[in-house]
């Protein structure tokens, strides 16, 4: 087992301290440093390329810098791989590092057209979260040969794992969840926390991009009323938070990116190995995370009452 570690444009002396630590374990750790932040997608692609250059590597585990894996988690994830059924991607059980509650059991795609962390094991699993994902060489090489990319670097970060999982599903691969693979997660620690404009911008912009890039036209059309309701709620919620500028930027840039996503969509359509009708079976039948709409509605009216 070898660790591939990247300092992704960190400020201060982080890179030096990591390099010094890696130098103590030259047989186990390969350290790289980037002068600029490549984003999650670019950073992971750099490391995936390094790992696959070693012909002995047949599985790659992606692990965020804000995670604390528990003993035995790798073996638990490996046990879920099944080449016969093309189960080549595995999600872990990620727990909130503070509360111990479930943070993510992989990715769930909801009828609202938004994907998010899967919180319940009975929910449909789309694929693993990029924060902790076990992927096979076969899947990664197939993705690159078919689509010319592993993670889409135009996404920078957020929803790039949804895009990768969907493209893998279109190539006929299946996901699994390893209940006994426990990883504690500090939740968006590397991007400043889950409630900031950076997360809002990339999360919603990229959710629009994967929808254009990966979802069948028929499903898009049937989902249009829910899509309008969802984004109406997003706009209203964040206008009340004073984020008009961030909303303008994300929807403007999402529209500017449509031509590039449509070109990639054509490639995915040409290489697809399963029928478009299969897509519906990957979608969780609920509108969104259970309780989320109720919480957002209460927050909206609480803010309104505070202002009045």
Model confidence pLDDT, tens digit, residues 281-303: 999 999 988 766 666 656 655 65
The radius of gyration computed from the CA coordinates of the chain, to the nearest angstrom, equals 19
CA separation for the pair 7, 38 (Å, rounded) = 10
Residue 4 lies in a domain: no
Task: Tell me the CA distances in angstroms from 66 to 10, 134, 137, 190, one per residue in order.
Answer: 14, 17, 25, 7
The 10s digit of each residue's pLDDT in 202-234 is 999 999 999 999 999 999 999 999 999 999 989
Long-range contacts formed by 255-263: CB under 8 A, 24+ apart: 257/154, 257/205, 257/209, 258/212, 260/154, 261/209, 261/212, 261/213, 262/212, 262/213
Residue 173 lies in a domain: yes
Model confidence band, residue 192 (pLDDT cutoffs 50, 70, 90)? low
Whole-number pLDDT of residue 297? 59
Residue 133 lies in a domain: yes
Residue 178 lies in a domain: yes
CA separation for the pair 238, 300 (Å, rounded) = 9
Whole-number pLDDT of residue 305? 53
Model confidence band, residue 240 (pLDDT cutoffs 50, 70, 90)? confident
Range of 82's domain?
A: 59-307
User: What is the number of H-type helices and E-type strands within the chain?
Assistant: 11, 11
Residue 14 lies in a domain: no
Long-range contacts formed by 275-282: CB under 8 A, 24+ apart: 276/216, 276/218, 276/219, 278/169, 279/215, 279/216, 279/219, 280/219, 281/124, 282/109, 282/124, 282/126, 282/166, 282/169
Chain-wide mean pLDDT for the chain?
92
DSSP 215-228: S-HHHHHHTHHHHH
Residue 64 lies in a domain: yes
- DSSP letter assigned to residue 2: -
Q: How many domains does the chain have?
A: 1
Whole-number pLDDT of residue 209? 98
Mean pLDDT along residues 189-207: 79
Query: With 80 as the cut, is the pLDDT of residue 169 above it?
Result: yes
Cα-based torsion angle of the residue sequence 170, 201, 191, 150 in order, rounded to the nearest 10 degrees: 20
Query: With 70 as the cut, is the pLDDT of residue 103 above it?
Result: yes
Q: What are phi and psi of 177, to 5 degrees?
A: -120, 130
Nearest residue to 61 via CA among 163, 169, 183, 171? 183
Residue 17 lies in a domain: no
Nearest residue to 74 via CA among 58, 55, 60, 54? 60
Query: With 70 as the cut, is the pLDDT of residue 307 above it?
Result: no
Mean pLDDT along residues 154-173: 97
Measured between its terminal Cα atoms, the distance across the chain in Å is 60
Residue 207 lies in a domain: yes
Whole-number pLDDT of residue 303? 55
- Residue 280: other Cβ atoms inside 10 A: 13
Whole-number pLDDT of residue 290? 73
Helix (H, G, I), strand (E, B) or coil at 69: strand
Model confidence band, residue 12 (pLDDT cutoffs 50, 70, 90)? confident
Tokens linked to 31: 């350290």
Lowest pLDDT segment from 5-14, 48-57, 194-203, 221-230? 194-203
């Amino acid at each position: 087992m070898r660790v591939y570690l990247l300092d992704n444009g960190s400020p201060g002396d982080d890179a030096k301290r990591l390099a010094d630590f890696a130098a103590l374990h030259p047989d186990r750790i390969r350290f790289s440093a980037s002068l600029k932040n490549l984003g999650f997608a670019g950073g992971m692609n750099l490391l995936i390329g390094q790992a696959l250059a070693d012909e002995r590597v047949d599985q790659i585990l992606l692990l965020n810098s804000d995670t604390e894996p528990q003993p035995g988690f790798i073996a638990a994830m490996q046990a879920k791989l099944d080449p016969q059924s093309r189960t080549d991607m595995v999600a872990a059980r990620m727990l909130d590092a503070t509360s111990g509650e479930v943070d993510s059991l992989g990715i769930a795609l909801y009828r609202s057209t938004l994907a998010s962390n899967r919180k319940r094991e009975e929910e449909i699993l789309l694929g693993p979260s990029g924060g902790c994902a076990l992927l096979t060489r076969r899947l990664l090489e197939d993705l690159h040969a078919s689509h010319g990319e592993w993670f889409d670097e135009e996404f920078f970060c957020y929803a790039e794992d949804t895009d990768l999982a969907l493209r893998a599903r279109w190539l006929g691969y299946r996901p699994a969840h390893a209940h006994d693979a426990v990883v504690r997660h500090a939740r968006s620690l590397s991007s400043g926390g889950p409630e900031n404009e950076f997360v809002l911008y990339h999360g919603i912009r990229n959710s629009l991009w994967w929808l254009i890039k990966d979802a069948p036209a028929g499903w898009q059309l049937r989902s249009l009323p829910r899509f309008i309701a969802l984004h109406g709620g997003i706009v209203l919620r964040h206008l009340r938070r004073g984020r008009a500028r961030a909303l303008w930027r994300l929807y403007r840039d999402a529209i500017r990116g449509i031509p590039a996503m449509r070109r990639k969509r054509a490639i995915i359509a040409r290489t697809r190995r399963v029928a478009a009708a299969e897509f519906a079976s990957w979608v969780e039948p609920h509108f969104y995370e259970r309780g989320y709409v109720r919480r957002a509605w209460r927050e909206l009216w609480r803010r309104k009452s505070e202002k009045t």
